[in-house]
């Protein structure tokens, strides 16, 4: 048997988890299959790589040697694959835009505008609940751009070397059924929702530290929080079982209303990210301008919110500027 990179990943997984059983779970393999694979690897290398007993698996001297080399080879190969993916298609091939989005309110309008302006362009989309997953895919050359959001003054992780620009800043709103006692108000105090149950979609959003901190400042701890997909969130609110946070440009739904929170205790910043050394970086300014236009399009069904934005210039669309200077966020 020839030793392959996948075999080195097996050895690393066993060493990192300290157990063949745990490594099998991590790798998505059956434990007997992983044990048999380890035995084949050990026969190829000429000796046992791990001492195994009831306390787990510990590398032998041979295992330590293999691990030392694997921990150099695997990242190097990953880096080679990522660089190759970023450079692929950098020539005169038809223009390509590969977008990833986290519950983005403007993805559809952005794609529509690009498709209308560049009919020959190749446009694809990818959905994920995780900002980190999208950043990894962009850094690895598998996506060109990430449309994500961050709560408050937080910033996307700098671990992936992406450039990030603000598209817009919106106050986070609350989604209520029309029959809710507070639905007649233009604004609702967060403290007035202290007895409510809440529902949130999975993934990165304001239902982490930001929401808990805002509730604490309002003098309460939120009651039960359901988790559901977007359709499930709407159904739970419509049934009167829960209320939800939502973006200001949330598409109107019959029987539900969105209301601003008094004092805008939560803010959602819509971000566009790309890798500064990728072919996509050359088109980043164009994509950013198109994203800004798509956000403006998204305001059309919300005349009341648009009027509020005119009175509150700290919110709304962000034109390219030095807004990120000094914030520790890489900009193109």
Q: Is 207 helix (H, G, I), strand (E, B) or coil?
A: coil
DSSP structure class, residue 327: T
Q: Phi-psi region for residue 326, left (φ > 0), alpha (ψ -120 to 50) or beta?
A: left
CA-CA-CA-CA dihedral for 217, 218, 220, 226, to nearest 10: -100
**CATH topology classification for 5-88:** Arc Repressor Mutant, subunit A (1.10.10)
Bridge partners of 324? none
Report the C-alpha gap between 148 and 97 in whole angstroms: 16
CA–CA distances in Å: residue 73 to residues 1, 7, 190, 250: 19, 12, 52, 47
Numbers of helices and strands, H then E, in the chain: 10, 14
Residues contacting residue 280 through CB under 8 Å, at least 6 positions apart: 97, 144, 145, 274, 287
CATH 1.10.10.10 domain residues, the chain: 5-88
Report the C-alpha gap between 112 and 119 in whole angstroms: 10
Q: What is the pLDDT at residue 251?
A: 82
CATH 3.40.190.290 domain residues, the chain: 94-318
Report the C-alpha gap between 280 and 269 in whole angstroms: 22
Architecture category of domain 94-318 in CATH: 3-Layer(aba) Sandwich (3.40)
Q: Which two three-digit tokens encode residue 243? A: 């209320």
E strands, 161-242, are 163-171, 173-177, 187-188, 198-200, 225-227
One digit per residue, pLDDT tens: the chain, 332 residues? 788 888 999 999 999 999 998 998 888 778 888 898 999 999 999 999 999 988 889 999 999 999 999 999 998 888 787 777 666 555 444 488 999 997 788 999 999 999 999 998 999 999 988 888 999 999 999 999 999 988 888 878 788 899 999 999 999 999 999 999 999 999 999 999 999 999 988 775 666 678 889 999 999 998 888 888 889 999 999 999 999 999 998 887 899 999 999 999 999 999 999 999 898 998 999 999 999 999 999 999 899 999 999 999 999 998 654 333 333 334 33
CA–CA distances in Å: residue 158 to residues 27, 132, 144, 148, 249: 27, 10, 17, 14, 28
Angle between helices 61-87 and 5-17 (to 10 degrees): 120
Q: What is the pLDDT of residues 27-38, one digit of tens each?
A: 877 888 889 899
Q: What is the pLDDT of residues 234-278, one digit of tens each?
A: 999 999 999 999 999 888 789 999 999 999 999 999 999 999 989
């Amino acid at each position: 048997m020839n030793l392959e990179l996948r075999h080195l990943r097996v050895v690393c997984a066993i060493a990192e988890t300290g157990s063949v059983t745990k490594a099998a779970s991590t790798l998505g393999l059956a434990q007997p299959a992983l044990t048999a694979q380890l035995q084949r690897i050990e026969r190829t290398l000429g000796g046992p790589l791990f001492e195994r007993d009831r306390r787990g698996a510990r590398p032998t001297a041979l295992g330590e040697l293999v691990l030392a080399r694997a921990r150099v080879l695997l990242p190097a190969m990953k880096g080679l694959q990522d660089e190759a993916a970023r450079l692929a298609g950098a020539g005169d091939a038809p223009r390509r835009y590969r977008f990833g989005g986290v519950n983005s309110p403007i993805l559809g309008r952005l794609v529509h505008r690009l498709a209308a302006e560049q009919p020959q362009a190749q446009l694809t989309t990818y959905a994920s609940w995780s900002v980190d997953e999208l950043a990894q895919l962009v850094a690895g050359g598998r996506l060109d751009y990430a449309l994500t959001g961050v709560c408050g003054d937080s910033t996307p992780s700098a671990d992936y070397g992406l450039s990030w620009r603000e598209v817009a800043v919106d106050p986070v709103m609350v989604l209520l059924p029309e029959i809710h006692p507070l639905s007649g108000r233009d604004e609702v105090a967060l403290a007035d929702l202290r007895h409510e149950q809440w529902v949130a979609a999975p993934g990165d959003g304001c239902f982490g530290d930001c929401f808990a901190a805002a509730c604490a400042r309002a003098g309460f701890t939120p009651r039960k929080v359901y988790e559901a997909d977007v359709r499930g969130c709407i159904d739970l609110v419509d049934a009167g079982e829960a209320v939800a946070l939502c973006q200001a440009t949330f598409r109107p739904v019959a029987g539900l209303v969105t209301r601003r929170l008094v004092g805008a205790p939560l803010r959602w910043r819509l971000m566009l990210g790309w890798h500064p050394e990728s072919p996509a970086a050359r088109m980043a300014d164009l994509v950013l301008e198109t994203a800004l236009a798509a956000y403006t399009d998204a305001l059309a069904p919300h005349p009341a919110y648009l009027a509020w934005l005119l009175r509150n210039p700290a919110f709304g669309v962000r034109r390219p500027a030095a807004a990120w200077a000094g914030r520790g966020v890489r900009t193109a």
